Structure formats: C-alpha cells, structure tokens
Amino acid sequence: MTLSFNQNCSKKIIKRAQRGDKFALTQIYHAYKQPIFNLAFHMLRDEHRANDVLQTVMLKMMDSISSLSDSNKLNGWIKRLSYNSVIDIIRANQRFDTVSNNESFDYSASESLSIINSAHWDLEHYLEILDERERIVVWLYAVEGYSHKEISQKLSVSEQNSRVIYSRAIKCLKQLVKEQEKTNSRAGVSNE
C-alpha cells in the first residue's frame, strides 16, 4: 500500500492538463488514484467512502488545475485536496463532540511520538481500532506533523478538543499495547 504522493508527472503533462487536455488529465488521474484512495481508506476504513474521496479529489483537480501556479507543487496540492475531502466526509457524517476546557490531556508531543514510534507499535493496525475522529487527529498530528492549532482549524473544533481527542486515543492505544504484551497477541485479532 502506497500513501506516497511523490509522483513524477512531467511539467509538460501538467501544462497540457492545465489547458484541458483530457489525455494529460487521465495520466494525472492514473498517477494519483492509488495514493488518494489509500490515504482515504486508511483514514475512513470504508472502501465506498474512499472511492467517493477519490472521485471528489479528481473532479476538484480537473476543475482547478488551471489555477495551479507552480507545477512543482502538484504533489502537495493533490495531497491537500485529499485530506480536505476526507475531513469534509467526516464532518458530514459525524458531529465532533466538544470537551470542556477544564479537561486536560496527558501526553506531551515528545512522549506521544516516542510511544507511537516504539517497536511494540503497529500503528496502522492500531489506527483501525480508533473511531474516525480519533484516527484523523492521531494521523494528522503524529504522522503528518500538523499542530493541534492546525488540526482544530481543519476540523472546526477547539485546539483543546484536538489535544484531548489525541490524548484519549493515545491512552487507548497505549492500553491496547499493554494488553497485547500481556497476552502475547495482537489486539483485536484472535490467536486461533
């Protein structure tokens, strides 16, 4: 599974796509369809909604590629369109609960990253266990490097809410790792 958006589309293809060339747009589609789908599926855990994201991103790309001023930024631009489409689907399907400003979070950024990067973690496996809201906050913060302020803006929640969601998710994942170590099995997987 590849999540890499580092595709090599030539400047010539991008320029042709910006002029509306259907063959060039098709080449861009084929270059990016798998990373877009994989990112959406990884975050949403739903094949149909991941395909919806792919379709949405490609339509947005076709409609607005002519406004892309720097062809070197195509990879990042399509990745950003993908994240924004995933977030839009989550917003449409789930209301983000707010937390009180008095609720605290337990993990510093460095502690959280050391937990996630530990050899005991299969992050991709554990992310499957989290709900969408937790998964997207953990992914954006721990994997993509967004700040809680940036996440709060993307998800239309308070910065404190982003931190608490993240903390709860890390606490849950940390507990699953402990259970796995005790039983010598993978969480959520039968040992039969």
Return the pLDDT at 11. Answer: 93
How distant, in Å, are the alpha carbons of 43, 58, 111 from that of 108?
23, 37, 5
Return the pLDDT at 189. Answer: 46
CA 3 to CA 70: how far, in whole Å? 22
pLDDT in tens, 158-172: 888 888 888 888 887
The full set of domains in the chain, from first to last, is 11-93 (1.10.1740.10), 109-183 (1.10.10.10)
pLDDT in tens, 16-75: 999 999 999 999 999 999 999 998 988 888 899 899 999 999 999 999 999 999 989 999
- In sequence order, the 6+-apart residues with CB closer than 8 A to the CB of 121 are 115, 173, 177
Give the N- to C-terminal CA distance of the chain in Å, as an integer: 27
Q: Where are the alpha helices (DSSP H) in the chain?
A: 11-18, 22-44, 47-64, 74-93, 109-116, 123-127, 132-138, 148-155, 159-183
| Percent with pLDDT over 90 in the chain | 33
Radius of gyration of the chain (CA): 19
pLDDT in tens, 8-27: 889 999 999 999 999 999 99
